[in-house]
Amino acid sequence: MNFKSDNTASAAPEILQALGDVNEGAVAAYGDDPWSQKLDDAFSEVFEREVRVFTVASGTAANAISVATLTPPWGAVLCHREAHIECDECGAPEFFSNGAKLVLMEGADAKVTPAALAEAATRNARGIHSVQPSMVSISQTTERGAIYTPAEVFALGETARGAGLRFHMDGARFANAVAALQCKPADISWRGGVDLLSFGATKNGALAAESIVVFDLKLAEEVARRRKRGGHLFCKGRYPAAQFLAYLKDGLWLRFAARANALAAKLADAAGVSAESNQVFIAPGAEGLAKLRAAGAQFYDWGAEGSGEARLVVSWNQAEAEVDAMCVLLKALR
Amino acid sequence: MNFKSDNTASAAPEILQALGDVNEGAVAAYGDDPWSQKLDDAFSEVFEREVRVFTVASGTAANAISVATLTPPWGAVLCHREAHIECDECGAPEFFSNGAKLVLMEGADAKVTPAALAEAATRNARGIHSVQPSMVSISQTTERGAIYTPAEVFALGETARGAGLRFHMDGARFANAVAALQCKPADISWRGGVDLLSFGATKNGALAAESIVVFDLKLAEEVARRRKRGGHLFCKGRYPAAQFLAYLKDGLWLRFAARANALAAKLADAAGVSAESNQVFIAPGAEGLAKLRAAGAQFYDWGAEGSGEARLVVSWNQAEAEVDAMCVLLKALR
Amino acid sequence: MNFKSDNTASAAPEILQALGDVNEGAVAAYGDDPWSQKLDDAFSEVFEREVRVFTVASGTAANAISVATLTPPWGAVLCHREAHIECDECGAPEFFSNGAKLVLMEGADAKVTPAALAEAATRNARGIHSVQPSMVSISQTTERGAIYTPAEVFALGETARGAGLRFHMDGARFANAVAALQCKPADISWRGGVDLLSFGATKNGALAAESIVVFDLKLAEEVARRRKRGGHLFCKGRYPAAQFLAYLKDGLWLRFAARANALAAKLADAAGVSAESNQVFIAPGAEGLAKLRAAGAQFYDWGAEGSGEARLVVSWNQAEAEVDAMCVLLKALR
Amino acid sequence: MNFKSDNTASAAPEILQALGDVNEGAVAAYGDDPWSQKLDDAFSEVFEREVRVFTVASGTAANAISVATLTPPWGAVLCHREAHIECDECGAPEFFSNGAKLVLMEGADAKVTPAALAEAATRNARGIHSVQPSMVSISQTTERGAIYTPAEVFALGETARGAGLRFHMDGARFANAVAALQCKPADISWRGGVDLLSFGATKNGALAAESIVVFDLKLAEEVARRRKRGGHLFCKGRYPAAQFLAYLKDGLWLRFAARANALAAKLADAAGVSAESNQVFIAPGAEGLAKLRAAGAQFYDWGAEGSGEARLVVSWNQAEAEVDAMCVLLKALR
């Protein structure tokens, strides 16, 4: 019963197979191979408009390059206090952006509200002496498993535009949001004003496939340059490309995400909480957590130390039996 | 007849198979999986001493992180004018090192000599006003296909030590050097004074497997931090690890390299030149190059524009028939 | 009645005169002139031990270079939420440090407590994913005019040492602290564990004289390099040197600071508040502030918008008549 | 007989006096004082068009901030091999620009020719793998004392524009060029296409007055931000402003420069060489240099080690007697 993270899961056979399928012949390197050349089209179809996509090695790279592209070094990057870019990237956004400052917002379920954003955008009372609010970054789904609806994304986009801010979305679990909302990918990205999207597949069935989707095409050249300088232009581009092509084909990505979401809902139900995506947050107290662990469950504590909270993440291929067994344990705690 | 580069080649079946072999079950992320945990031992065995190894997404990343670890921002990085870090990484070493300066040396076959190094190490006549020579970086094999013998590496290491310089080796084609020299990997790395080695497998049969081998163990923590901030800590560490484990197993890497070297020797022989590794440099003039292309050969022009030179690179799995056909063409030009 | 800041004041005649005194003859540039050569000795005498001192153009430069010297780029710089390095330097510490992160602590009067520091030093529950607490920076006096006693500095130093943190002090108003405490400069700097001190004179009578005092002499070379790369090595070193020599001579600096402190105490007394140094914080409400301004007083609002708070800063040469007039106004508000 | 550099000289009485003249009363800090407010107008008058000017602490800062403003981090900064930004700033341009690369051009007298510039602008045969030529930086006067005529500046500007390059001029000795050419400052700056000019006064009579003159007004905000983050926004802006106002008043700057140029011409004449500005380069051989030194002359050797060359720089206030005595020595060597 390993619910530590969806990055503990293996890769999907469809995606592994895709690596074999492209493993033939000599092709141009650095993204000039036939499969890489199809990527922009594949993503453009998914997003119902022309986009450019840049594969990178990690979600951290996708986020940090995006941030660096959207803020000058003297900018303030407005994000939630629990954002991955703030908590989990060892300062990669600061490194790539040449020292921009992350300015933090509060909000339930790690969500940013238009009101919080509007307030944060004005936090520059000292003119030349302060960093300048220049962009907002939100996570879809959030680090607390919450989902922004299309209307919510749009409202944030409006607020951002009004305040002169660029808009980045960390979509490490973008698939789970689309699957849960049963909306179009466009509805929670560019239609809502998102300029750059970190679009991840690794947590949802790929081996290593992360990317930056560029909606504002004028940014593409800068993203390309920053990717190269970051060492993220893959030499043999066919392999990350193949993963993404398989991932997007026939909605595989959404099936995986929907399945994980559904199993998470079962866990949430058993625990008496709600879950919007594939992450479930429970708070049975220290004793309860100890019992779960004693029964073989693996997961991370969450929240403040000693809070008695924990996070359960369901992977794309989590065994139903695992989930069922966990449900029994969770119900027993109530 | 594609001799453009060894990065155009597909991956070896043994290495692709290794991905499938580890694609089972949930394991810890970020390098705490069982296969990643074996990497240090596998490399330590190859190098006959304790080392630490850090996988990254590209050779550019391996080089840039190594450089940043070995020089302060105000340092001069001494390297050959044709070095990959100077010519082909869009300033990644400058980016990762926060603005260190690459100071260039000349030398036949893109090789650095101890004399050139000793001279370059003294190029700081202006005290606080000049960048400080702090490290040397050489490529093994060089960008002109040349190989440093163990004695040559050692001599450079001695010179570096004497001048207070750290020592980095760009080993994107390290395998070809070991295979050609039939020496121990240690003989052309740490025994010669190398502190950090960019050890690549992508050009020699892997899908995407690059790494930094740390010989000076005190540097490991800094390399780890710089890797994370560069977005090069893979989420699912098992896949790069599996590639390297398969690559090193039973000398697979050296068999591939030896094969490519041998086929390159055939090409060189046909062209009436010599080749130390898997790269062959020919100079049949513009007309000769045009004839080769007309006959279906693919390759890059090399050297100054209009020099009539070209580079032929043999991949690990280059078809013998291709080589034979190319030999016919090359002989016809003489 | 201008109480906006001590940086609105003109320079002291003694210091202006010193510029004229050194304005004779051709001397070596870049700090090799006779006056610059005396700086280390002058500061060493003031601090009762061997120090190295580096003049720079601004307090921001002194702070940012110090921070960059004491933290690696992946470090967390622990400081108070109201610290100058956080609020007023447009990200200079992030720029100079290549993207270190400022991690904020709370505390009354903009003071950091050992308990807060100890807690902040442990905020790295995510290993490689988090920035690493590497240093603490405090302001003496604080941005709220408070003063750390020798015992308080020592306690912070102990906590820092125990947590493996380096220790920086922003001493833009260091003189006011020494004068108020009537202690030795050493007692609130290196004896308390401070590694680098931003020692400013501009706010206390100089034209433009800021510096970094290096107590850990091993850091001197790095400070020198970072200063040069930051463009802060003055070409004609005699002029900043002359300012500092005059400033330190016969205790001029402490007389100025003591005078400003004493006048601030009068203001505080009139307002019914307390003041430890030359800054006074009052909270008469919006109406009270309006009355003060209507009567000709100049100052900055402070604290949250609409808090009705204001800051009054007394300069080294503030006219007593101004202070007396302001006292009348302040008493009238009570 | 100190001809080491014009930065060994003391400051002009007119400029020192100006410091005293503004040393009265409390005024706004950070450039909002009355004298700083006049700077833009004073410079606009000198340059016959609207400009913005930003004072900084050193020529290195002026150059590095200018470079960072005109190139992206992945840019190539085209400059002469002997340029100050390449040789004498310890990597400050790389630091401020977040790792742009200086790409070097050759040329007699440290001058860049349009042909050399046009060639260098095409040195990017490797697309995404190479840094992108993005700007050119020239020194007026050059590090070898040569001067670009208005026509030469214009030709370089044309070449730059044609190649999509921005144009920076290091004017540490801009005054000497204007005085020698007897042209308008505009003729060798913005009329020739210069976007940003490092305009120095320190070497020509000021204590510490360096600046960035912004001709492309859209760049002003970025220069302001980079200056602040570099710690170069002076707290008490009146003092650098006062120096510049006195420097520009009634052509003082040009009188000083013309005088130094004239005395340098005498030295050159005595040595049998030519000099365009206030720097004279002689090559009497090692023995000759030794004789000069034995007779009390101070200067720096120049060129390659053992070249027997030396540089003589005449300061704004160099005593005529010194020059005459030196002339005698120089003639004796012929």
Tokens of D2: 């100190």
Which residues 301-320 on chain D approach chain C with CB closer than 8 angstroms? 315
Half-sphere exposure of C134 (CA within 13 A, CB side): 20
Tell me the pairing of strands B166-171 and B132-139: parallel
C45 vs chain D: nearest CA distance in angstroms?
27
Residue contacts between B and C (CB atoms, under 8 Å): 35
Task: Point out the residue among B98, B99, B128 whose CB comes nearest to the CB of C224.
Answer: B128
List the Cα angle C82/C88/C93 in 5-degree steps. Answer: 95
What residues are paired with B23 via a beta bridge?
none
What is the mean predicted confidence (pLDDT) over A127-146? 96
Computed over its alpha carbons, how large is the radius of gyration of chain A? 20
Q: Which amino acid is at C218?
A: K
Does residue D264 contact residue D279 with C-beta atoms inside 8 Å? yes
Does residue B26 contact residue A315 with C-beta atoms inside 8 Å? yes
- D230/C229 CB distance under 8 A: no
Tokens of C206: 């100089």
* b/e sequence C176-207, b meaning 16+ C-beta within 10 Å: bbbbbbebebbbbbbbbbbbbbbbbbbbbbbb
- What is the separation of C-alpha B278 from the centre of its chain, rounded to a whole number of angstroms? 12
pLDDT of residue B306: 86
- How far apart CA A181 and CA A277 sit, in angstroms, is 9
- Nearest chain B residue (CA) to D77: B91
Decide: helix, strand or coil at residue B82: coil
D44: Cβ–Cβ under 8 A, 6 or more apart, which residues?
Answer: D50, D51
Which residues 210-239 on chain D approach chain C with CB closer than 8 angstroms? 225, 228-236, 239
Residue contacts between A and B (CB atoms, under 8 Å): 156
Q: Report the length, in residues, of chain A.
A: 334
- B30/C225 CB distance under 8 A: no
- D126/B87 CB distance under 8 A: yes
Tokens of A309: 């909270």
Residue contacts between B and D (CB atoms, under 8 Å): 63
Query: Is omega for the bond preceding A159 within 30 degrees of 0, making it cis?
Result: no
Distances in Å between the Cα of D160 and the Cα atoms of A291, B91, B217, D135 are 71, 22, 48, 7
Task: Point out the residue among B74, B90, B96 whose CB comes nearest to the CB of D91.
Answer: B74
pLDDT of residue D215: 98
DSSP C96-163: HTTS-EEEEE--GGGPPPHHHHHHHTT--TTGGGSPEEEEEEEESS-TTS----HHHHHHHHHHHHHT
DSSP A264-311: HHHHHHHHT---SSSEEEE--HHHHHHHHHHTT-B-EEESSTTS-EEE
- B95/D95 CB distance under 8 A: no
pLDDT of residue C124: 72
Which of D229, D232, D233 should we substitute to test contact with A (largest number of A Cβ atoms within 10 Å)?
D229
- D74/A226 CB distance under 8 A: yes
Q: Which amino acid is at D248?
A: L
Quickly list H helices, A211-281: 220-229, 238-248, 252-271
Which residues 37-76 on chain A approach chain D with CB closer than 8 angstroms? 72-74
- B229/C73 CB distance under 8 A: yes
Tokens of A105: 């917002």
Tokens of D330: 């120089």
- Nearest chain A residue (CA) to C119: A305
C13 touches chain B (CB under 8 A): no
B266 vs chain C: nearest CA distance in angstroms?
48
Entry pTM: 0.97
- D207/C7 CB distance under 8 A: no
- B128/C225 CB distance under 8 A: yes
Decide: helix, strand or coil at residue D158: helix
Decide: helix, strand or coil at residue D139: strand
Using a CB-CB cut-off of 8 Å, the residues of chain B touching A2 are 26
Closest among C180, C210, C181, C87 to C137, alpha carbons compared = C87
Q: So what's the ipTM on this one?
A: 0.97
Residue D151 burial class via C-beta count within 10 angstroms: exposed 0-12, middle 13-18, buried 19 and up: exposed
Closest among B151, B156, B216 to B190, alpha carbons compared = B216
The rounded percent of chain A whose pLDDT value lies above 70 is 100
All residue ranges of chain C with pLDDT < 50 are: none
Predicted confidence (pLDDT) per residue in A241-261, tens digit: 999 999 999 999 999 999 999
- How far apart CA C136 and CA D133 sit, in angstroms, is 41
Each residue's pLDDT expressed in tens, for chain B with a length of 334 residues: 999 999 999 999 999 999 999 999 999 999 999 999 999 999 999 999 999 999 999 999 999 999 999 999 999 999 999 999 999 999 999 999 999 999 999 999 999 999 999 999 998 767 999 999 999 999 999 999 999 999 999 999 999 999 999 999 999 999 999 999 999 999 999 999 999 999 999 999 999 999 999 999 999 999 999 999 999 999 999 999 999 999 999 999 999 999 999 999 999 999 999 999 999 999 999 999 999 999 999 999 998 888 999 999 999 999 999 999 999 999 999 8
What is the mean predicted confidence (pLDDT) over A182-204? 98
Instruction: List average pLDDT for each run of 10 residues in chain D, which is 334 residues long.
Output: 95 98 95 96 98 98 98 98 97 98 97 98 85 97 98 98 97 98 98 98 97 98 98 97 98 98 98 97 96 97 91 98 97 92
pLDDT of residue C306: 86
Lowest mean pLDDT among A126-130, A211-215, C271-275, D227-231: A126-130
DSSP state of A298: B
Q: Which amino acid is at A67?
A: V
DSSP state of A319: -
pLDDT of residue A304: 85
Using a CB-CB cut-off of 8 Å, the residues of chain A touching D226 are 74
- A91/C102 CB distance under 8 A: no
Closest among D18, D40, D30 to D243, alpha carbons compared = D18
Q: Which amino acid is at C298?
A: Q
D151 vs chain C: nearest CA distance in angstroms?
32
What is the mean predicted confidence (pLDDT) over A158-174? 97
Q: Which amino acid is at C18?
A: A
- Is residue A305 very low, low, confident or very high in pLDDT (cuts 50, 70, 90)? confident
Which residues 79-138 on chain B approach chain A with CB closer than 8 angstroms? 89-92, 95-96
pLDDT of residue B125: 62
pLDDT of residue A306: 86
pLDDT of residue C125: 62
- Nearest chain A residue (CA) to B92: A229
B84 vs chain D: nearest CA distance in angstroms?
10
For residue B195, count other CB atoms closer than 10 A to its CB: 23
Using a CB-CB cut-off of 8 Å, the residues of chain A touching C98 are 95, 98-99
- How far apart CA B45 and CA D34 sit, in angstroms, is 72
- B126/D88 CB distance under 8 A: yes
Closest among C134, C189, C183 to C157, alpha carbons compared = C189
Chains touching D by CB (3 or more pairs below 8 Å): A, B, C
- Nearest chain B residue (CA) to D64: B99
What is the mean predicted confidence (pLDDT) over A72-89? 97
Closest among C7, C5, C1, C24 to C242, alpha carbons compared = C24
D224 vs chain C: nearest CA distance in angstroms?
11
Does residue A181 contact residue A150 with C-beta atoms inside 8 Å? yes
Tokens of A218: 């004028």
